[in-house]
Structure 1
Amino acid sequence: MSAFTGLVLWAILFVLCWPLAILLLFLYPLIWLILLPFRLLGFGVTLTLSMIFALFMLPFSLMR
């Protein structure tokens, strides 16, 4: 999600229900810190799977 889209969605939430928007503004860094290990794990899994795929496809690329 781009920063502008997030800002527009937060502004709409602020107009509709300002206490929830303020609560979300204060809880966002905590939620980001909780989700950070899962992002790092996803990055590591993606990197590992791409390396395995590259090793599997190496003979085929060498035959070209």
Structure 2
Amino acid sequence: MVLWAILLVLCWPMALIVLLLYPLIWLILLPFRLLGFGVTLTLSMILALFMLPFSLMRA
């Protein structure tokens, strides 16, 4: 927010363009965030499966 305010003071047309394009950029990047979330969950589940025998031996 502070960076946008500084941009507004220095170059207000660019600040308005950024303000208008931000929702579009957010929508474009949303699938990549969801993909990253899915990859993280998958890798954590694989790690948990590999660590299961060690967890059972500890208990």
Give the TM-score taking structure 2 as reference length: 0.95
Match of 1:25 in 2: 19
Extract unaligned runs of 5+ from structure 2.
none
Are residue 46 (structure 1) and residue 46 (structure 2) matched?
no
Q: Deviation per CA, 1:7-64, whole angstroms, max 9, x where unpaired? A: 1111011111111100000000000000000000000000000000000001001111
Q: Secondary structure at the match of 2:5?
A: helix
Q: Which has the larger radius of gyration?
A: 2
Give the TM-score taking structure 1 as reference length: 0.87
Q: Percent same amino acid at aligned positions?
A: 86
- RMSD of equivalent CA atoms: 0.5
Q: Which consecutive aligned stretches of 4+ in structure 1 deviate over 4 angstroms post-superposition?
A: none
Q: Match for 1:24: what amino acid? A: V
Extract unaligned runs of 5+ from structure 1.
1-6
Q: Match for 2:22: what amino acid? A: Y
Are residue 12 (structure 1) and residue 13 (structure 2) matched?
no
May I ask how many residue pairs the two structures share in their alignment? 58
